[in-house]
Amino acid sequence: AQKITQTQPGMFVQEKEAVTLDCTYDTSDPSYGLFWYKQPSSGEMIFLIYQGSYDQQNATEGRYSLNFQKARKSANLVISASQLGDSAMYFCAMREAGGTGGFKTIFGAGTRLFVKA
Amino acid sequence: DSGVTQTPKHLITATGQRVTLRCSPRSGDLSVYWYQQSLDQGLQFLIQYYNGEERAKGNILERFSAQQFPDLHSELNLSSLELGDSALYFCASSVGTSGSLDNEQFFGPGTRLTVL
């Protein structure tokens, strides 16, 4: 069965430093997508970055990069130059084809990031 | 603002009751997804509709049902409510052309349901 594991319930990082949030996944489907979302205390879900299973290069979006290691089934999020506004819950998610042309997305338990001034 | 709207923002009801949550996707998006976020279960995918048809099903209880209307808005119906159904219910939308795993999903602000 598909599974997403985020082993860090909480993380602290000093402002302006880089931080890596871990994510491992398990699937037998060769075609899948990996996502990271941010959920601030206000509750909305904000898309950060996407990596396709067939993508050769790691995805980057501004200060966010995804360290994709397919053989190890890991998709870690790297946030460079942390800012106070990065304090939030971060979710790793995997999307697979769900039959009849649809898509199922499963989420990890999340990592709460605290950025210290 | 993601462009996805959800109503109501908050809903308080009693056990055994039935409620309807409404979602309007972004203009042009054909797919609607429903998620439940609770403290004990985390974020769970419930169901996906694409252009009016059910396309994928997750951990959706039999007491829950959804539909997508011709104008593409969607409703999630929750019946015989239990205390454990208290959660934040998100709707998301995407362009959703079949076969495109990289369609970004845009989340609405959520409906917070409290069952007393």
Residue B41 burial (CB count, 10 A): 11
Q: What DSSP assignment string belongs to A50-77?
A: EEETT-SS--EETTEEEEEETTTTEEEE
Distances (CA, A) of A39 to A48, A54, B37: 10, 27, 12
Residue A8 burial (CB count, 10 A): 16
**Which of helix, strand or coil describes residue A36?**
strand
List % helix, strand, coil for chain A (3-state, nearest 5): 5, 55, 45
Task: Return the pLDDT at B68.
Answer: 97
pLDDT digits (tens, 9 = 90+) for B39-50: 888 999 999 999
Cβ contacts of B45 on chain A, cutoff 8 Å = 104-107
Q: How confident is the model at residue B1 (pLDDT cuts 50, 70, 90)?
A: confident
Q: What is the mean pLDDT of residues A96-106?
A: 80
Min Cα–Cα distance to chain A from B48, Å: 7
Task: Return the pLDDT at B100.
Answer: 62
pLDDT digits (tens, 9 = 90+) for A54-65: 998 999 999 999
Task: Return the pLDDT at A101.
Answer: 74
Q: What DSSP assignment string belongs to B31-90?
A: EEEEEEEETTTEEEEEEEEETTEEEEE-S--TTEEEEE-TTS-EEEEE-S--GGG-EEEE
pLDDT digits (tens, 9 = 90+) for B3-62: 999 999 999 999 999 999 999 999 989 999 999 999 888 999 999 999 999 988 998 999
Query: Can you list the alpha helix ranges (DSSP code H) found in chain A?
Result: none
Task: Return the pLDDT at A2.
Answer: 66
Q: Are B4 and B105 in contact (CB under 8 A)?
A: no
Residue B107 burial (CB count, 10 A): 21
CB of B90 less than 8 A from some CB of A: yes
Task: Return the pLDDT at A60.
Answer: 94
Count of positions (residues) in chain A: 117
Task: Return the pLDDT at B40.
Answer: 85
Nearest CB partner across the interface for A104, out of B42, B45, B107: B45
Disruptive mutation site among B1, B23, B101 for chain A (greatest number of A CBs within 10 Å): B101
CB of B59 less than 8 A from some CB of A: no
Min Cα–Cα distance to chain A from B57, Å: 7
Taking 90 as the threshold, does the pLDDT of residue B99 lie above it?
Answer: no
Min Cα–Cα distance to chain A from B101, Å: 6
Q: Could you give the angle at the alpha carbon of B90 between the alpha carbons of B85 and B91, nearest 5°?
A: 130
Q: Are B19 and A61 in contact (CB under 8 A)?
A: no
Disruptive mutation site among A44, A55, A103, A112 for chain B (greatest number of B CBs within 10 Å): A103
